[in-house]
Structure 1
Amino acid sequence: MREAEGGPDRTGRLIWIGPSLATLAVVLTGIGHAQPWRDELATWSAASRPLGDLVRLAGTIDAATSPYYLFMHAWVAVFGDSVTALRLPAALAMAATAGLTAVLGQRLVGARVGLLAGLLFAVLPGTSRYGQEARPYALATFLAVLATLLLVEALARPGWTRWAGYAVAVAALGLTHLVALTLLAAHAVTVLATRRTGPGNRPLRWVLALLPTVLLLTPLVLLARGQRSRQLGWVETARPDDLAALAGGVAQSGVVGGLLVGLAALGAARLGRRALLPGLAVLLPVLLLFAAGLVVPLWVPRYLVFVVPFACLLAGAALATVPLPPALAVVALAGLLGLPDQASLRRTHEWPRSATVDYRGAARIVADGQRPGDVIVYSPRESWFFLDLGLAYHLGDRRPRDVLVTEDQARRGDLWAAECARPAECLAGMDRVWLVVTGRREDPLAAVPGAKGDALRADFTVERVWPRPGLTVALLTR
């Protein structure tokens, strides 16, 4: 890394403004258009609960994400729970990440590298995708770059205040996204590589800076470990071809991801030893998570979004080898190649894009057709589709009574409600039932299994069916 000589470059002090504003402009475009998908519905459900219920949720299923939910609880209390309000923290985090990426590039290599890295990050479809999602990935990406920049400053100009800032950033990173702590492997190698240059015992200070993180996160890690089977039960073990698909996954575009990897490889070759920190910040988290994922189901590409700015930094080094206009033309090309994906992710956040679940459309059908005394039933209930949360978000207080619920999500301390053990008794006296099931069903009643399906089929007939993407709404009458 470049050591500071006489302080920062005055001509590059504002290097962060262009990338930050560009990212903010791109990410805010259409931020409220795509309806919240199931992961965002989980965020809304958790953040809108009283604090006591939120603590109970952390103890049953979602401890690893509970600090983020706590932050969003405070955010929603101030700014509300509209789609835009829920996603705004992620948008601001991505804009700040672009600026910090530019500053880190300037600090490690030069102002042009930083500028190009930040602008390239701004136009990636993945930046928009995770900057328009009410989940912790954008915040983790911001904190990963911030912690790395603070490490660079602490190594260049050792002082307890700088190490304290680094310690706070790392602890915040772990609270936001436990997987992002794999970045510390790259930090460790960097610290060891610079241990003989400059004053102070850098490895010792680095270890001491990590102590607050260890003390703070150990209980959280132990609690989250016991919840892994529920939280990650849908994840499969990693396969070798998953590595090949990673770039397209985090960039949200196969062609743009391939371009980024190619430019990053060229940049690493150009930088030589100076590529150590950004290169390892990309490679080590990927390899560590993949190795763990071969044994334990942990491999989820979006968990590695935080490595993208470091790949952009390496790519910026490659682009800086040519004059600025051609380099900016390549950045613009990356943006143009990603336009189809930019457009599609603003239609839906589901993956694949064809797997849209139209909660909003289903809610509109129920709102337009319901009468006083109507009730609603969902099938399946314990599903990651969160049918009940989706309609609850869009209907609010206008939703029909969820007739089979005996204990809601908040009281149960879970993401799913508990249902009546004898559905026929709970449905007694009901004349009109709205049934919402997953998938496109010509006969929605036939899609309801078990005692719930038996009770519905015994006493109700289908009056009308409304197919919507990803689900079906039916009105049943006795």
Structure 2
Amino acid sequence: MWRDESVTWQVAHRPLGALWELLGQVDAVHGLYYLLMHAVFAVAGGGADGASAGLWALRLPSVAATALAAAGVAAVAHRLAGAGGRTGEDGARREDGASGGRPPEGRAAADGLSAERPSGERPSGDQLPGDRPAADGLSGDGASRDGLSGERRAGDQPFGDRPAADRLSGERPSGEQPSGARRPGYRSPRDRPAAERAALFAGVGYAVLPPVQMYAQEGRSYALVAAAVIWATYLMLRERWVGYAVVLVLGCWLHEFAVLALPAHAFTAWRSRGWRWSAAAVVAGLLPLALVSARQAQQQLGWLGRPGWQDWAAYGVLAAAALLLAPRPATPGPSRGRVSRGLAAPAGSPGAPSGTGASGRPGARTHRTPNPDGPKRPAAEPAAAAARDLVRVALPLALLPPGVLLAVSLVHPWYVDRYVLYSLAGLALLAGTRLAQVRRPVRARDWWPWLLAAALLVPVGFWSAWLRTPESRKDDALAVAAAVRERAWPGDAVLFMPSRRREWLLSSPEVYGSLRDPALSRTPAASRSLQGVERTAQEIREALLDPSTERVVALLDPSGQPLDGDPAEAVKRQTLVSSFDLCSVTQVRGARVALFAKPGGCR
């Protein structure tokens, strides 16, 4: 457990009244997450005797959120890859709305046809969408006159859903299929749609990304924010605008930098009136939190500096990878995909995907009238439209949130990569879809994507294993508490240098409670702060020189860290050096535990 997780543990264990008072002073940006963790600890027991007992409860929400986010990436990939229709191994398009999910080669047999007919001629007994059963038309009740109206009686089935036997003049025993026909919805393993492969690769790819794994096992809000943004993206593609606004506002209240997903979504859906209203609702919903956190910005983010070359280099690698993975459709001309047209393509227009109805939603039934004399849409065009839609969704999501935050940080240093963890979903979408497009390698050059993926798995595997060790974090609060427990005697003084390192022991009350804190004036709870309020420099000196203070356990940053210039911190260092002997120094992850004693007291 590192220092930020220690803060989560000790804040979430405060009473609700004290927690509310704290959020009015600091950390309002994490307020909703702290309330969630308060409820989690209340249900799970939470290890009231120390964070080590409640570590699983601390991290469980992040693990669950990462699994949910990976599922969301898979859902978005499936939605995007399937936007252009289903494509089998032969590259032929299969339109759900026109064929009921049956592949083209099986339609003739399923429809009871055995020979080609002149263009525009329809065999006797065949039906169009909305046609009533052939048996009704032969009964003389006039039903056949209503067949072209697009109306169906209750219980009628749309074209492509009814068994082939019902559309033939002869009857066939129940459950028997005509010779050579495929069952409705049947898919051979060789015809598995690219959308399913893209969903699998994208979801797994997101889950194995090392930064995603890092925050999946950390008791902070970033995994939950990523899940909210990813599922908001999916709801945007489904045009569920109320749900989109609610989920994205939830993500913004978990961490307000989730609002940077709006520019990425605007690149995709700015033409949609529903999205514009939803975006306005998200901004309005975030406004109260933004007003409170703006007053806390200096206290909250004052420790940050402007982005260094490492930050820009990491962003450059991300941008290069995203641009390399982005598909380049071979079909020229304007985009015809629904997403590419701002989620506003009307049914029946060139921009509406196959299988969309009057509502414009994929999967809705449409009334199709055959137009045998008109030009047929090229089979490659749906795949090209789906590729363009993928670029318009995934590329902005990968590049805009971190890019905008980096640019803002040139003026206001607010950039930390974990604040925009959700942008990695865009990279996973691009990588998963690219891998899904690679079928059975035939030529030597067809192997390179798989060889590259296999080569990357080796360092990713080592990185993933390293992330599960304490060395992957800046420090280890539980290791510090264990070292103090071994060296301190009950009643010894403990000194935090600097004072903000008090967070190392606040999550281990059984250790901290057995020691005296001579520098502390008001506790964190009493002062409505994270680390409490310390005494003045003179008061600290007097407390350390008190005859009752014989041993001091000092908790310090690692060697080489800059010293805090605050007067109180300077007095701590000077008094220990001049009035105490150094007995021992223990190095732990990200900290030093030094034991001081009055002259002659080391033993």
Q: TM-score, normalised by structure 1?
A: 0.77
Between the aligned partners of 1:100 and 1:305, the Cα distance in structure 2 is: 14
Contact persistence 2:554–2:594 (CA under 8 A) = yes
Give 2:261's aligned residue. 183
For residues 323 and 571 of structure 2, what CA distance do their matches in structure 1 show? 56
1:52-78 CA-to-partner distances (Å, cap 9, x unmatched) read 222222222212121111211211222
Quick check: 1:99 aligned with 2:74?
Answer: no
Give the alignment partner of residue 470 of structure 2, picking from 348, 357, 360. Answer: 348
Aligned pair in 2 of structure 1 residues 330, 117: CA closer, same or farther (>3 Å)? farther
Using the alignment, how far apart are the partners of 1:375 and 1:258 within structure 2? 51
**SS of residue matched to 2:235:** helix
Shift of 1:435: 1.7
Which residue is 1:404 aligned to? 519
1:126 paired residue number: 211
Q: What displacement does 1:309 show?
A: 1.3
User: How many Å separate the matches in 2 of 1:77 and 1:293?
Assistant: 38
| Alignment partner of 1:136 is 2:221 | yes
Q: Write the letter of the residue equivalent to 2:582.
A: V
- Give the structure 2 partner of residue 15 of structure 1: none
1:276 corresponds to 2:392: yes
Q: Give the C-alpha shift of residue 337 in structure 1.
A: 2.3
Map of 2:232 onto structure 1: 147
Residues 363 and 395 of structure 1 are in contact (CA less than 8 Å); yes or no, is this contact kept in structure 2?
no
Q: Give me the whole-angstrom Cα distance separating, in 2, the residues matched to 1:208 and 1:412.
A: 42
What does residue range 449-464 of structure 1 map to in structure 2 within 5 Å? 449-464=569-584
Equivalent runs, 1:302-381 vs 2, <5 Å: 302-323=418-439, 331=453, 333-348=455-470, 356-381=474-499
Deviation at 1:457, TM superposition (A): 4.2
Deviation sequence 1:342-368 (CA, Å, 0-9, x none): 1222123656xxxx5343333223212
Matches within 5 A, 1:189-204: 189-192=267-270, 195=271, 202-203=272-273
Helix, strand or coil: the match of 1:338?
helix
Q: CA separation in 2, counterparts of 1:366 and 1:458?
A: 23
Stretch deviating more after TM superposition (53-62 or 105-114): 53-62
Structure 1 residues 52 and 310, CA gap change in structure 2 (3 angstroms): same
1:130, distance to aligned residue in structure 2 (A): 1.1
Whole-Å Cα distance in 1 between the matches of residues 391 and 499 of structure 2? 50
Equivalent AA in structure 1 for residue 555 of structure 2: V
1:245 paired residue number? 314
Report if the CA contact (8 A) 2:227-2:422 is conserved: yes
SS in 2 for 1:295: coil
Deviation at 1:268, TM superposition (A): 8.3
1:260 CA drift (Å): 5.0
- The answer on 1:264 being equivalent to 2:325 is yes
Aligned partner of 2:5 in structure 1 is 40
Distance 2:552 2:499 in 1: 16
> In structure 2, what is the Cα distance between the partners aligned to 1:314 and 1:364?
45
What residue number does 1:390 align with?
504
Partners of 1:131 and 1:75 in 2: how far apart? 16
Match for residue 435 of structure 1 among 554, 558, 569: 554
Give 2:23's aligned residue: 58
Contact 2:202–2:428 under 8 Å retained in 1? yes
Which blocks of at least 5 consecutive residues in structure 1 are unaligned?
1-35, 155-161, 196-201, 249-256
Which of 34, 56, 66 is matched with 1:84 structurally?
56
Between stretches 107-116 and 78-87, larger displacement belongs to 78-87
Q: What SS class does the counterpart of residue 587 from structure 2 fall into?
A: strand
Candidates 186, 189, 201, aligned match of 1:116: 201
* Aligned partners of 1:438 and 1:471 also within 8 Å: yes
Provide the rounded CA distance (Å) in 2 between the counterparts of 1:117 and 1:48.
37
Q: Is the 8 A contact 1:129 1:349 kept in 2?
A: no
Q: 543, 565, 571: which is aligned to 1:426?
A: 543
Change (3 A) 1:372 1:133: closer
- Kindly state the Cα deviation for residue 456 of structure 1 after the two structures are TM-superposed: 3.6
Tell me, yes or no, if the aligned pair for 1:116 and 1:328 is still in contact at 8 Å: no
In structure 2, give the amino acid aligned to 1:98.
Answer: A
Query: In the superposition, relative to structure 1, how do residues 267 and 85 fare at CA in structure 2: closer, same or farther (>3 Å)?
Result: farther
What is the distance in 1 between the residues matched to 2:15 and 2:329? 49
How far is the alpha carbon of 1:131 from its aligned partner? 0.5
Give the direction of change, closer, same or farther, for the CA distance of 1:435–1:239 in structure 2 (3 Å limit). closer
Cα distance in structure 2, aligned partners of 1:409 and 1:293: 30
Of the structure 1 ranges 145-154 and 212-221, higher mean CA displacement relative to structure 2 is found in 212-221
Higher helix share: 1
Counterpart-to-counterpart distance in 2, 1:287 and 1:357: 29
Which residue does the alignment assign to 2:300? 231
State the 1:147 CA deviation: 0.4
Over aligned residue pairs, what C-alpha RMSD do you find?
2.9
Q: Partners of 1:222 and 1:178 in 2: how far apart? A: 11
Provide Cα deviations, 1:12-31, integer angstroms capped at 9, x if missing partner.
xxxxxxxxxxxxxxxxxxxx
- Retained in 2: the 8 A contact 1:247–1:261? no
- Range with greater deviation from structure 2 (399-408 or 236-245): 236-245
In the alignment, structure 2 segments of 5+ residues that lack a partner are: 82-194, 331-383, 442-446, 599-603
Q: Report the alpha carbon displacement of residue 324 of structure 1 after superposing the two structures with TM.
A: 6.9
Q: Is the 1:440–1:469 Cα contact (8 Å) retained in structure 2?
A: no
Q: Does the 8 Å contact 1:268/1:314 carry over to 2?
A: no
The reply on whether 1:468 has 2:433 as its aligned counterpart is no
Once the two structures are TM-superposed, the CA of residue 332 in structure 1 deviates from its matched residue by: 5.1
* Residue 239 (structure 1) shift: 5.5
SS at match of 1:60: coil
Aligned-partner residue type, residue 293 of structure 1: S
